[in-house]
Chains A and B, each alone.
Chain A
């Protein structure tokens, strides 16, 4: 079974530029998460989707961050414009069944963003 796929793995941009990250969850997983991980810290949830609906985006900085999951499968996270403080690893995770609270979240390899 293929795991969570993310691209690109690395991205270097200048501040004020836009950037987008893509995630393809494990097949059959209808819950998708985007996390932010700063260096040496644990991941922090940005947004959670159940199918195509964003059910928890309370931690997403909506002035510059946006996300979509149009068909309930792949998802894209966008930052526009990027700031120096956005340099971090952006992790995508998925789990199998919405509402089943014991579900394990499986993580992709992440996208490491460097903003210069």
Chain B
């Protein structure tokens, strides 16, 4: 079985400050990891993914994420947050050893960036 935990329901950060959204995962094999962002009344937008290779993955809108196998984590980061980054962020995992392309999502973290 595969699972994802996003331990923070909400993260508050001042504009211009660094932003981190935490994610830990559990899979029986090697993971594929994804981050999505959801704005109000919108679908999920793909930000970035880790498949293999460099542990630091760069994605859209200045976001990046670091894969840490020993800590089974894939935290999302942005060096300088914008008010427009306020949204709901979802981490998702897929087990490389499992058949099909089934993603398991975390419960989401709401990010509020204050001016």
User: A residues bordering B, Cβ < 8 Å?
Assistant: 4, 6, 31, 40-45, 48, 55-56, 91, 93, 95, 98, 100-110, 112
Contact = CB atoms under 8 A, between A and B. Distances in A.
A42 B41 contact: no
A57 to B, nearest CB: 12
Interface of B: 4, 32, 34, 36, 41-46, 49, 51, 90, 92, 94, 96, 100-103, 105-108
A109 B90 contact: no
A104 B42 contact: no
A101 B94 contact: yes
Nearest to A10: B41
B100 A56 contact: yes
A42 B43 contact: no
Contact of B43 (A48, A95, A101, A109): A109
A73 B63 CA distance: 33
A91 B32 contact: no
B46 A42 contact: no
